Every structure is written in C-alpha cells, then in structure tokens.
Chains A and B, each alone.
Chain A
Amino acid sequence: DQQVKQNSPSLSVQEGRISILNCDYTNSMFDYFLWYKKYPAEGPTFLISISSIKDKNEDGRFTVFLNKSAKHLSLHIVPSQPGDSAVYFCAASAYDSWGKLQFGAGTQVVVTP
C-alpha cells in the first residue's frame, strides 16, 4: 500500500530553469512532509520540510508547496544547477506514528548544461 507516490520517475531540466517535482499522498493523517536528496552511493540528505499548518516553505533556491485538500505537494528548485542532479524523495509522517517516515519511490533529476 503505497501511501506516498511520486509518479514521475525522472525529470530532465536545463541549467538555470525551474525544476518542479511532484508528490501525492493518500493518508489524511500525514501532518509533516519532507524532501530528501540522494546522490549515488550516499544516504539521503534532508533538504526541506513543511508542516500541515503551512502551505509554503522556502529555503534559498528550494520551495515546497503543500495543497492539503488535494493531498499534493511539490518541490520547486529555482534556478536549477548541475549539482542538483540527484534522486529526490518525498516523505511524510503522521502524528500518530511519529518517526515512521513513508517515502515515495523517488524522482531522478538530471540538470543539463
């Protein structure tokens, strides 16, 4: 039962343009959402998060948007840089199962010069 879904396995974007990664979830109990970035042969690293009381959180070039009614969140990277090429995972946790992150399958982003 995949509760967090990333329907785009890959995304190619030109350097300098915007990357938009999408994530959908089914569990209405989720109240905290995170994005992780993963390079090959390394563990995921935390990128940005948002709680369900907000609809937007921004950190430098990264912005996460949350649409609770649609059970959808997105990550915007502006401008995209070659070092952003990685796999991006969306994750969610519910207040009644603290610590148990549910991850999506990931989106491979390739930023081309």
Chain B
Amino acid sequence: GAGVSQSPSNKVTEKGKDVELRCDPISGHTALYWYRQSLGQGLEFLIYFQGNSAPDKSGLPSDRFSAERTGGSVSTLTIQRTQQEDSAVYLCASSSGDLDAEKQYFGPGTRLTVT
C-alpha cells in the first residue's frame, strides 16, 4: 500500500512566479489536508478537504493561495505571485474519514524556496 506522495520534492522559484504543488493521498482516504512548516516552526494548517463537502480554507494565509481536489483524490496547492515568506516545507496529509479520522498520514513534503 502506497503512502501519501508529493511532487516535486524540491522547488526553487523566483519571487513573483506561480507554483503548483501536487499531493496524491492514500487510496480510499476521503480527507486531505495541507500544512506548511516554516523554519523552526510547527506545522501550520492551510486547508482541508472532506469528501464532497466544501473545503475548509480558514488556514490559507492570503488570497494568493488556493487548492483544489479533483475527483476526490489528487490535490494541487497553487501559490500565485510567490513571496520570500512563502518559503517553507509544504506537507500534505490524508485520513480515512472514519473513527480514526484524526490520525493523519503525511507525505514527505515539498520544500519551496522563493529567491
């Protein structure tokens, strides 16, 4: 059974450019989450998808950030007009949505560096 995968593993971009980060959750998991971890900080919640419900976007730091989840599976996090403060590791997680839903399984992350 494959775990959560993310691509790319590393991304270096120039300030002002747009980036797309991809997450493939564990097959059958209905819930998908995005977090980011800035240097020396804990994980910061960004957005959460559960089944066909409207996503909880309450953690997105600005309107430059958006995410979608196609077909209830793969998710893409898009950051427009990147800024240096966007540099962080972006982590995706998924969970089964049942009684163990609080146990989130994380991917390896995408390290984003904005120069």
Identify which of B39-47, B61-69, B75-83 touches chain A: B39-47
Kindly state whether residue B95 has any CB partner on chain A within 8 Å. yes
CB distance from B16 to the nearest CB of A (A): 28
CB distance from B15 to the nearest CB of A (A): 25
Interface size class of A (residues with CB under 8 A): 20 to 34
Kindly state whether residue A59 has any CB partner on chain B within 8 Å. no
Partner of B42, one of A4, A43, A46, A100: A4
Give 1 or 0 for each of A15-57: 1 = CB within 8 Å of chain B CB.
0000000000000000010101000011111100100000000
CB distance from B30 to the nearest CB of A (A): 11
**Chain B residue contacts of A36, Cβ below 8 A:** 106
- Whether B91 pairs with A105 at a CB distance below 8 angstroms is no
Tell me the bound Cα distance from A56 to B49 in angstroms: 31
Q: A99-B33, A99-B56 are in contact. Are A46 and B104 (CB under 8 A)?
A: yes
**Chain B residue contacts of A102, Cβ below 8 A:** 45
Partner of B102, one of A45, A93, A105, A106: A93
- Whether A43 pairs with B109 at a CB distance below 8 angstroms is yes
- Whether B91 pairs with A43 at a CB distance below 8 angstroms is yes
Kindly state whether residue B28 has any CB partner on chain A within 8 Å. no
- Whether A100 pairs with B45 at a CB distance below 8 angstroms is yes
Kindly state whether residue B50 has any CB partner on chain A within 8 Å. yes
- Whether B106 pairs with A43 at a CB distance below 8 angstroms is yes
Q: A43-B93, A99-B50, A100-B56 are in contact. Are A106 and B42 (CB under 8 A)?
A: yes
Partner of A44, one of B40, B43, B48: B43
**Chain B residue contacts of A44, Cβ below 8 A:** 43, 91, 106
Q: Which residues of B contact A (CB under 8 A)?
A: 4, 31, 33, 35, 40-45, 48, 50, 56, 58-59, 91, 93, 95, 101-109
Q: Would you mind naming 18 contact pairs between A and B with Cβ atoms under 8 Å apart? A: A4-B42, A32-B102, A42-B108, A43-B4, A43-B106, A43-B107, A44-B43, A44-B91, A44-B106, A45-B106, A46-B103, A46-B105, A49-B103, A99-B31, A99-B101, A100-B45, A100-B48, A101-B102
